[in-house]
Structure 1
Amino acid sequence: MRKLLPLIGTPSQSHPGGRSAMTCRFRCGDACFHEVPNTSDNAYVGDVIAGAIGRRSVMRAAAVVTVAAAAGTAGVAGAPSAAAVPAEAAGGPGGAPGGKPGGKAARGLRYDSVAPNTADAVTVPDGYAQNVVIRWGEPILRGAPAFDPENQTAAAQAGQFGYNNDFLALLPLPGECDRQLLVANHEYTDEVLMFRGYDPANPTRGQVEVAWAAHGLAAVVVEEDRRTGRLTAVPRHHLNRRVTATTEFRLTGPAAGSDLLKTSADPTGRKVLGTLNNCSGGTTPWGTTLHGEENFNQYFAGGGRPTDKRYGIGTGATERKWERFDKRFDVAQEPNEVHRFGYVVEFDPYDPTSTPRKHTALGRFKHEAATVRLTEDGRPVVYSGDDERFDYFYKFVGSKRMKKGSSRAVREHNLSLLDEGTLYVARLTGDSPAIEIDGSGRLPADGEFDGSGVWIPIATATAEGAVSHVEGMSAEEVFVFTRLAGDKVGATKMDRPEDIQPSPVTGKVYVVLTNNGNRGVGANAKADEANPRNANKHGHILELTEGRNRPESTSFAWSLFLVAGDPDDPATYFAGFPKDDVSPISCPDNVAFDPHGNLWISTDGNQLGSHDGLFGVATRGSRRGELKQFLTVPTGAETCGPLVQDRRVLVAVQHPGEVDGATVDKPASTWPDGPGKIVRPAVVAVWRKDGRDIGV
């Protein structure tokens, strides 16, 4: 019998998902302690929008078409059945290996599992080494000073690595031996841990401006030491760059120039300052990176319209009080500024002079990530989850083909690929009688949670204009109020859809659902086959089969690949792999694939008594479902941005020491630099001491 550690902290300290109250305050604005934004029953929403934007009646152009139930039904009829999936790859017990497989772990996962622990350190398997690649505050631009926590300025921070690194990408640098280009998100700031003596009720302008500069993105060249595997930052390289909350961005796509996006500072509706709360992201086949603006709502005060409520924008003051220093963060004074956040950002790390773009064609919601693959004819398909209880996950299928080459004309063409295409939202249907889904996680009579699904089109953007597929909503309204479009067409309410990753080996798509303590509670939606546990505190992962080379398909089969929690809990499931031989896992968040096709899972808010960590799991073969913990992160931290190469694993250690009651003077962690030093988020590299590939 597996014995887990006692839960960390006391009930008063633990928020849903195991996070500290401090993390909930600064990362997502206490989202789990507010009313669930999605109270829809798929009722008519046209009047809600018209009242919210306080202007003309909702447009009902002739081009607008209804997404009728018949369209969805047609899609379901064409969906592949779970039975059609090869047994070796099927998601439920029917396709799982019988008994306990013999032999070694899957290639890429042959390491000794790290035991659950609460060490204030990054703990890695025996035989592996690690180093801190770069920390918050390290200078990366020419002229930037060394980090001085007691004398922080906005100008200094704008030239230094930002706070709370999340998504990571490593891109090649042709012609520069042993060097790569690291791109990182800087999701949010925790001023209590940044500034000594910080007063949350009365932040200073200087502190606010430092926080603006600590948000955003960073590009920094890194170099490998071949003798040791160590990876270090190269300061002041010409490609190093910082993007902050005050950097100029272009709004592109079908909503750009809309009345909904115009402000007093930007009457064109095409230019916006900054990006906020960038969580996970993705890389594109044409050499750029994508970054999802997630909990942007928490930065805006004074909301009161129905659309504000649907997006979780509060009526009172914000935690950081930015509205005191810039009116654009006050919805009462600048009602459209909030409509300019919540998009997927595209960043060209190879051009330090480029203006980053916000792609309105990918919709506006709390984007956890944006991952890309191509159709056979070279069109981009982008997956993204809306990280909110009972919200949806989406797919964008582009209509323009990627061009190969590096000329300016080719790069400009490829930067426009995400401005034209169709945006879809997912509806899932289980294949078991509803009476068999009782919210306990007990399997239905057919032995697995599975079914079919359809991608429902909600709007299409072309070079000539845009067309809505949602009755009562114009195209620009679909792209700006995307959540309402999902409500209208009857998308499936999910348990916090976060990262979505297609496998580069099998083409299957993995959808991460972190948790949802409100499932089945009160008037909230009850368990369904795709979200089978009420008060779901541990989360699960869906596996979609769209067809290996048909990501543009409008139908799919789905099954639950992993149901997280204590393996001794009968409600957990590991793709049929024997549960006495897997690591416990709770609250899956971001995922990545290794070169062997294994899925690597980082966690956020472990409720099983251990610190968060990184796990590898086989997705195919006789050991499909075997899950092994690779590392844990320090006290109060979350594991972010996992990136797995042949010989190296990178993780972003986010918000270390973010424990209730902690301050600069009373730190809860001494990571990464030891006692007497300020706690700093950082990027960590891990490699094998013998120089061989990871997990082989």
Structure 2
Amino acid sequence: MRNLPMLGLTHGNRSAVTCNLKCDNACARPAPNASCEPSFQDVASAALSRRTLLAGGGALAAALAMPVVHAEGAEAAASGTWATKSPLKFTPIKSVEATKDTFTVPKGFRWDPIIRWGDPLFKNSPAFDPTKPNAKAQALQFGYNNDYLDIIVTNRAGTEALLVCNHEYTNRAIMFPPSASDADELEVLRTLKAAHGMAVVELKRRRRGGKWTYVQGARHNRRITADTPFRFDGPAAGSKFLKTKADKDGVLALGTFGNCAGGTTPWGTVLSGEENFNGYFKADPNARGSKRYGLTDADSSYGWEKVDPRFDATKDGYQNEPNRFGWIVEIDPTDPKSTPVKHTAMGRMKHEGANIRVDSDGTVVAYMGDDERFDYLYKFVAKNKYRKGDSRAARKHNLKLLSEGDLFVAKFTGEMQEDNANLGSGTWIPLTKNGKSAVKGFSHEEVLVFTREAADAVKATPMDRCEDVEPSLKTGKVYVACTNNTNRGADGKPGPDAANPVKGNKNGHIIEITERRNQADATRFEWNLFMVCGDNGEAGTYFAGWDGPVAPISCPDNVAFDSAGNLWISTDGQPGTISKNDGLFRVPVAGKERGHLVQFLAVPVEAETCGPVVHDKDGSVFVAVQHPGEDGTWEEQHSYFPDYLSKAGKPVKGNWRGPRPSVVQVTRK
């Protein structure tokens, strides 16, 4: 029987298994941020009224003109005429009940898996066989539970691409049968460890708009696991807080895990955020930063300390091992022999991901969310400017852009409105500046290794789980998906405020941020509530002023944009809040249809929609389907995705008897 502290405490159909495996039962314990400030709604001197902003509408619009990220679409963006003119036309689907084990797409479309857990990547990769767990085999196969995803087309004909994704976490109960001995179970633990990390996979297709297939044994194929060497760079590399028995210099870490969202950079690399790393360690609860990062001395959720001593951080020589996780990592998918990097200049937290915006003057900024109740929104501004072009010199320069720069945390001000059309202003408070600490009482390396503590000290605004944070390449506006926070307004916790307006926020919301033209490094911003999620017509919901019907939506997680600038939103948690399977939604952010939310697809029972990629000019949409059938067991599986079902709802003969997390493409029939 699994230890499930959240059993009976989740909302609706939300899985206690997901809580246990994905975030180490974070909601069963007090939020790590014990320093929460009172709601800024109570601080009258800081409030900025909606009436004041609207009264100066003309001047405000001029002052907050859109930053130039890409020249295309600038005129249309200003007029708002481009917002719904995506080449991808579809009839929206209806929401799917949370009991359905189906992958649902619009009429006229089809779905196909590109690659699934266990598929062989290399010429010497063994065939998938979950009845015989084998760590060496798994390290040569596609990993488990993809979150961030990108499909990077690499030739002019549009027939070759690289698929890049991460493998966030595993579920032993449905992946493998019960072990016959303790020795067999140790091999299961090693196999689970090998199923984490990241993957790069070559794809091919016959024509644009056609189906992609992956190429086994291709030159760029790569698996990065929890044992792959990573290089620390930036100001904290070599810090005393990163040194261990195995790495006395504090410059080389082994592996990455708990990877959630990410981003693809303009110079062709992929960023990934190390999120819920605390659940992998047994640690000293009194060590610096342990409480603030949720580390305890209980046995870890995954038990890796039984097969690798570095995951028992209570032992001499390993106390700093947890400090070596919680970073933004960068990999170069075009160079399978390159050593991935952990960027200390970008701070350490439970990173959901990082997404890049480049202003016309070459200023590079990365936006990041810390995915924990009452934690913060951040941005990083690179010291050096982006260089255009594909020359070797430009690429070498750009690969170092995230190694130096200034780190900021957000403080919001504003007032709540009766209709939830909240707006206000905000400040980016510097945590580091010009290569030095900007926080009194913290050294530079302390700010970067214990970033949460530094952000507490400058009184940043506690948020409702900032997950994906993405700038629009059409407008430069930044969209912050706040998934939920049921502790908002609970006893002793901050109550609702303008930027987090819902008490007991179970459905989440999205904030739209505007910074000044060509000033990604600005320290001031304006913001408004773009969406307050919930069931269609539910009291308190808000959809950017749209007053017509919309699709029900809850728990926004990852976001993306199509070629017309529309926002696409994937969800994580709808079964537990509105009793609907998670899905992918589209909403215009400008024009007459601004706020008109419709649903494009729904994923199977107990699954989460992750990593949306929209190639609308190709007529293609891609998602990662994470943890289908999460609540099942080896003996009683809850899903058969994606090798799926006969029309009678039974496993097709010859297919494996349980679910396999997969990357899925949706194309026109």
TM-score by length of 1: 0.85
> Are the equivalent residues in 1 in contact too, given 2:510–2:530 (CA < 8 A)?
yes
Out of 59, 73, 96, the position equivalent to 1:117 is: 96
Secondary structure, aligned partner of 2:595: coil
Judged with a 3 Å threshold, the aligned counterparts in structure 2 of structure 1 residues 120 and 85 are, in CA distance, closer, same or farther, namely: farther
CA distance in 1, matches of 2:105, 2:510: 24
User: Residues 145-165 of structure 1: CA distance to partner in whole angstroms, max 9, x if unpaired?
Assistant: 111111231111111111001
Q: Secondary structure at the match of 2:486?
A: coil
Partners of 1:196 and 1:664 within 8 A in 2: yes
Aligned pair partner of 2:230 in 246, 249, 266: 249
Q: CA deviation at 1:226?
A: 3.0
Provide Cα deviations, 1:417-467, integer angstroms capped at 9, x if missing partner: 10111000000001x3xxxx5xxxxx338x721110010000136xxxx31
**Which piece of structure 1 moves more, 374-383 or 102-111?**
102-111
Residue correspondence of structure 1 range 252-651 to structure 2 within 5 A: 252-305=233-286, 307-333=289-315, 334-430=318-414, 432=415, 437=416, 443-444=417-418, 448-460=421-433, 466-579=435-548, 581-606=549-574, 607-645=577-615, 646=617, 647-651=619-623
1:155 aligns to what SS in structure 2? helix
Residues 1:109 and 1:343: Cα distance change in structure 2 (over 3 Å): same
1:429 is paired with a residue whose SS is: strand
Residue 267 of structure 2: SS of its match in structure 1? coil
Letter in 2 for 1:34: R
What are the superposed Cα offsets for residues 198-239 of structure 1, whole Å, 9 maximum, x if unpaired?
Answer: 699998221121112111110001122438722211111100
Give the Cα separation in 2 of the matches to 1:159 and 1:286.
28
Amino acid of the structure 2 residue aligned with 1:396: F
Residue 75 of structure 1 deviates from its aligned partner by 14
How far apart are 1:401 and its partner, in Å? 1.6
Match of residue 219 from structure 1: 200
Aligned-partner SS, 2:291? helix
**Aligned pair in 2 of structure 1 residues 38, 106: CA closer, same or farther (>3 Å)?**
same
**2 CA distance for matches of 1:538 and 1:109?**
28
8 Å contact from structure 2 (residues 115, 663) kept in 1 = yes
Cα displacement string for residues 63-113 of structure 1 (whole angstroms, at most 9, x for unaligned residues): xxxxxxxxxx99999xx95645559x99xxxxxxxxxx9999654564221
**Closer, same or farther in 2 for the Cα pair 1:588/1:198, shift >3 Å?**
farther
Q: Counterparts in 2 of 1:101-116, with a 5 A limit?
A: 107=86, 110-116=89-95
Q: Report the equivalent of 1:685.
A: 665
Question: Which position in structure 2 is the counterpart of 1:692?
Answer: none
Q: Which deviates more, 260-269 or 400-409? A: 400-409
Provide Cα deviations, 1:545-580, integer angstroms capped at 9, x if missing partner: 10343222111111100000012112000001124x
Contact (CA 8 Å) 2:12, 2:579: kept in 1 or not? Answer: no
Which one is further off, 517-526 or 313-322?
313-322
How far, CA to CA, are the matches of 2:453 and 2:8 in structure 1?
34
Q: Show structure 1 runs of 5+ residues with no match.
A: 1-10, 44-72, 91-100, 438-442, 690-696
Distance 2:285 2:497 in 1: 32
Give the corresponding residue for 2:69: none
What are the ranges of 5 or more consecutive residues in structure 2 without an aligned counterpart?
A: 1-5, 39-44, 66-79, 645-650
C-alpha distance 611-201 of structure 1, shift in aligned 2 (>3 A): farther
- Letter in structure 2 aligned against 1:456: I
d(CA) in 1 for partners of 2:216, 2:469: 33
Contact kept? 1:342, 1:365, Cα under 8 Å: yes
2:346 is aligned with what amino acid? L
Secondary structure class of the residue paired with 2:613: strand
**Quick one: structure 1 residues 322 and 75, their matched pair in 2 at CA, closer, same or farther if it must change by over 3 Å?**
same
Give the secondary structure class of the aligned counterpart of 2:431.
strand
Inter-partner Cα distance in structure 1 for 2:424 and 2:83: 32
Alignment partners' CA distance in 2, 1:75 and 1:315: 42
TM-score between both structures, scaled by the size of structure 2: 0.88
Which digits, 9 at most, give the CA deviation of each residue in 1:366-417, with x for residues without a partner? Answer: 1101000112221320000000000001000001122344455443322111
**CA deviation profile, 1:501-541 (whole Å, cap 9, x unmatched):** 11111111000100000000111111111101110000000
Q: Is 1:219–1:240's contact at 8 Å kept on the other side of the alignment?
A: yes
Measure, in 1, the Cα distance between the counterparts of 2:396 and 2:11: 44
Range with bigger deviation, 624-633 or 295-304: 295-304
Q: Distance in 2 between matches of 1:458 and 1:531?
A: 23
8 Å Cα contact 1:104/1:110 also seen in 2: no
Aligned-residue RMSD, C-alpha = 2.7
Whether contact under 8 Å (1:389, 1:518) holds in the other structure is yes
Partner Cα distance (1:504, 1:176) in 2: 24
Asked whether the equivalents of residues 199 and 223 of structure 2 are also in contact (C-alpha less than 8 Å), the reply is yes
Of 586-595 and 368-377, the range deviating more from structure 2 = 368-377
Distance verdict in 2 for CA 1:17–1:329, change over 3 Å:
farther
Residue type of the alignment partner of 1:20: S
Maintained 8 Å contact 1:276/1:293:
yes
Distance 2:409 2:33 in 1: 15
Displacement after TM superposition at 1:116 (Å)? 1.2
Aligned length: 619
